[in-house]
Amino acid sequence: MAKVNTLPTSSAAAVPLLPATPATNWREALPTLVRPSLTLREPVLSDALALLTALPDGAMGMVVADPPPATVTGFERFIAQLQASRRSGQLACWVIVPSDSDVPVGLIGVRSMDSQAAMVEGFAVVAEEFRGTPLFQTAGRMTLGCLFGAMRVHRVEFRIDVRNGRANGALRKLGATQEGLLRRARRFDGEFLDQVLWAIVATDWSEHQTSRSSSVH
């Protein structure tokens, strides 16, 4: 998802939601997700230096509203903040670790949009050298599979800078639907930028997975 940086609830209320109680209590422990090429796990304090080195400037501000300084100590505080937010059910965040290394190269996760975390907003950021590689698609599929499976999420939204063609294209490949344009919705470097609103719901994910599986020979 390169730099990934709500809708009215009246229409969502008419849609049957998945059970509110998750099959796994991610507030107590975030699931570790493993594929041959990647591992997604909860950040720990010892990841601070690796994340500080790998992530671009401003990365923490895409995840939390009040990011600490971009120093090792600041990243340790940032990781502690992520863990606390997970325990309170506000946020779930994984580090992205390639299989040929034990060093994290990015973050991917979601922020809760309601008290039951049935609707969430996704975010991701990866090191510059991994943008445009299969890493994001793999990490995205792993995360969405967990969200719509064990964590029983109903809807995931994404807000992407309209100029970020790579991230917008990646979400389309993941099966997300472009729902609209959010005009001047994000402030960056003193400028208000347009964002594209994408979303994927649990039934979309099931259909996308079925379609994807049937096209593989």
The count of C-alpha atoms lying within 13 angstroms of the C-alpha of 104, restricted to the half-sphere facing its C-beta, is: 26
The Cα 174–Cα 114 span in angstroms is 24
The Cα 134–Cα 140 span in angstroms is 10
Residue position matching structure tokens 């229409």: 11
107 strand-pairing partners: 95, 125
Is the CB of residue 6 less than 8 Å from the CB of residue 111?
A: no
Specify the long-range contacts of residues 207-214, CB closer than 8 Å, at least 24 apart: 207/175, 208/174, 208/175, 209/145, 212/175
pLDDT per residue, tens digit, the chain (217 aa), is 434 333 233 333 333 333 334 356 899 999 999 999 999 999 999 999 999 999 988 888 888 888 889 999 999 999 999 999 999 999 999 999 999 888 999 999 999 999 889 999 999 999 988 887 889 899 999 999 999 999 999 999 999 999 989 889 999 999 999 999 999 988 877 889 999 999 999 998 987 776 666 554 3
* DSSP class of 81: H
All structural domains of the chain: 22-117+125-134 (3.40.630.30), 154-217 (3.40.630.30)
Report if pTM > 0.85. Answer: no
